[in-house]
């Protein structure tokens, strides 16, 4: 799981300081960073006219090393510096001294003769919006990249992209490759930083993995190693009751509940009941003979249904409508001592009332808002997507899945995961209902809330990638068996093995 750790700019600085205090000189880390970056560049490009642009900090020092090593390989290298050579400090000054070649002042005109740009201006730790000469330079470079006359390789982070948030601080140049060191940063996975980073290559520069214990980072890239140990997998003695009994509150827009039901069952729930007004039960059952439909006319009847201890996970919201009835059903579910998923209209009925919702939550709960629903429920949560999701999870005491191409899963304990495997064809109606149902199915089998949410997001992304273009929401659950078998290794199941042996 260490490989999935994402380091903020501050975390990475701490990792550097711990390594240096342990006896590794900073210039050695810088030399190794430049050496690995130059190797990546030389492996992907033939020698060409290359402009290396260096900033006044350590990112610029990395650039000096890259320039020197490319020149030693016979490349035609021009180096430009933002600022004065004599103003460089520490390891950056040492790296500059070893360059030994001419140093040009940074101007847009230098781009006229360049085919490849090595961007080592600012790196991940940019503290303010870019302006002045750097802005003019990057604007020209960006235009050339988009028209195809220039290719950019970024060192650590495309200059102008905030390493913690992925936001653009004024301007940034799209990179075809970004070479970063030791661990990725949140800004590499959050949009627009992810799109601007291009291919992301993480290199080893000599920082020991055990420094992560001292850094104590709590942000991760979402992948199976983060949650696979808690993923419920049936054994030969399993039966439908040991795999959990999930309940969906069915609303008048029945398609949403039906999609969620398919996903929950494909995710492994042993039984699934849909509680709905009697007039709707036949619609929920029509194309799903394995679903149990239960006529429920009011919250009191729903409460009686949830009195059965075997029914251990509940989903409310998909297809419900923003009504007082929906709110009362939510309140009933949250009082029932079950794992709960609130999606769609179950979130909007608490608009501007996050604190009220927090008082109702008393067990494992997952909220799955898209950006609009999030803004209605948490109007006071500000900052980056990661910061907003974390703040919301802390406020309500629940796992928050803030959806999008860079979905963030945040837990009330401070952990967060950023998902990176969602293809664009997930952007179609009904996939949110499928995701909510997937989380429900995993919760019903006893998976902890944070891990269930993270696993469901990843499984849906993997299924969408396997299906490819043309995907509609109904397709997703049909691909889950392949994801479980092939991507998560369940194809090796043995009737003679126990869960601890697999």
The pair of three-digit structure tokens given for residue 245, joined into one six-digit string? 């009994």
Instruction: Give the pLDDT score at 497.
Output: 55
Q: What percent of the chain stands above pLDDT 90? A: 93
Q: In what order do the strands lie in the sheet with 50-54?
A: 104-105, 77-81, 50-54, 116-120, 151-155, 177-181, 199-203
Instruction: Give the pLDDT score at 501.
Output: 42
Domain boundaries, the chain: 2-217, 224-491
| pLDDT tens profile 246-279 | 999 999 999 999 999 999 999 999 999 999 999 9
CATH 1.20.58.760 fits 224-491, yes or no: no
Tell me the pairing of strands 245-249 and 271-276: parallel
Per-residue 3-state assignment (H helix, E strand, C coil) for 403-432: CCCCCEEECCCCCEEECCCCCHHHCCCCHH
Instruction: Give the pLDDT score at 490.
Output: 79
Class of domain 2-217 as given by CATH? alpha beta
In order, the DSSP letters of 27-40 are: HHHHHHHHHHHHHH
| pLDDT tens profile 97-138 | 999 999 999 999 999 999 999 999 998 988 889 999 999 999
| pLDDT tens profile 178-236 | 999 999 999 999 999 999 999 999 999 999 999 999 999 999 999 999 999 999 988 88
- Sign, Cα dihedral of 476, 482, 487, 492: positive
What value does the mean pLDDT take over residues 280-291? 93
| pLDDT tens profile 485-500 | 999 987 665 555 554 4
Tell me the pairing of strands 116-120 and 50-54: parallel
| CA 397 – CA 362 distance, rounded (Å) | 8
CA torsion, ordered 322, 326, 327, 331, to nearest 10 deg = -160
């Amino acid at each position: 799981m260490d490989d999935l750790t994402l380091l903020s700019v501050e975390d990475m600085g701490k990792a550097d300081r711990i390594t240096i205090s342990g006896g590794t000189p900073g210039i050695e880390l810088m030399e190794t960073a430049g050496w690995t970056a130059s190797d990546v560049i030389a492996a992907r490009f033939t020698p060409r006219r290359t402009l290396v642009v260096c900033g006044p900090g350590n990112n610029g020092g990395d650039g000096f090393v890259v320039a020197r090593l490319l020149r030693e390989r016979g490349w035609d290298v021009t180096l430009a510096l933002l600022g004065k050579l004599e103003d460089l400090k520490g390891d950056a000054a040492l790296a500059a001294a070893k360059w030994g070649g001419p140093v040009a002042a940074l101007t847009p005109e230098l781009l006229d003769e360049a085919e490849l740009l090595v961007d080592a201006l600012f790196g991940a730790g940019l503290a303010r919006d870019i302006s002045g000469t750097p802005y003019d330079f990057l604007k020209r470079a960006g235009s050339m990249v988009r028209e195809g006359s220039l290719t950019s390789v970024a060192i650590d982070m495309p200059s102008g992209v905030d390493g913690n948030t992925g936001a653009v601080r004024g301007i940034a140049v799209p990179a075809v490759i970004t070479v970063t060191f030791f661990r990725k940063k949140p800004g590499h996975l959050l949009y627009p930083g992810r799109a601007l980073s291009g291919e992301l290559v993480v290199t080893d520069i000599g920082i020991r993995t055990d420094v992560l214990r001292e850094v104590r980072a709590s942000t991760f890239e979402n992948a199976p190693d983060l949650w696979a140990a808690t993923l419920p997998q049936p054994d030969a003695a399993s039966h439908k009751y040991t795999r959990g009994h999930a309940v969906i509150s069915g609303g008048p827009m029945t398609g949403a509940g039906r999609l969620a039901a398919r996903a929950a069952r494909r995710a492994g729930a042993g039984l699934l009941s849909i509680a709905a007004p009697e007039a709707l039960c036949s619609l929920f059952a029509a194309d799903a003979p394995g679903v149990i439909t239960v006529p429920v006319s009011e919250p009191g009847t729903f409460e009686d249904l949830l009195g059965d201890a075997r029914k251990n996970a509940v989903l409310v919201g998909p297809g419900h409508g923003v009504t007082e009835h929906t709110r009362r059903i939510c309140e009933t579910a949250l009082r029932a001592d079950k794992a709960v998923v609130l999606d769609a209209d179950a979130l909007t009925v608490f608009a501007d009332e996050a604190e009220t919702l927090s008082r109702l939550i008393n067990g494992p709960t997952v909220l799955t808002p898209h950006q609009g629903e999030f803004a209605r429920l948490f109007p006071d949560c500000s900052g980056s997507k990661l910061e907003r999701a974390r703040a919301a999870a802390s406020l309500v005491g629940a796992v928050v899945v803030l959806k999008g191409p860079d979905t963030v899963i945040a837990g009330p304990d401070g952990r967060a995961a950023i998902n990176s495997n969602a293809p664009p064809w997930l952007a179609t109606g009904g996939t949110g209902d499928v995701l909510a149902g997937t989380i429900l199915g995993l919760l019903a089998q006893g998976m902890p809330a944070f891990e269930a949410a993270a696993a469901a997001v990843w499984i849906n992304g993997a299924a969408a990638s396997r299906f490819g273009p043309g995907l509609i929401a109904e397709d997703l659950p049909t691909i889950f068996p392949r994801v479980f078998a092939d991507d998560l290794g369940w194809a090796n199941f043995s009737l003679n093995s126990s869960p601890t042996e697999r």
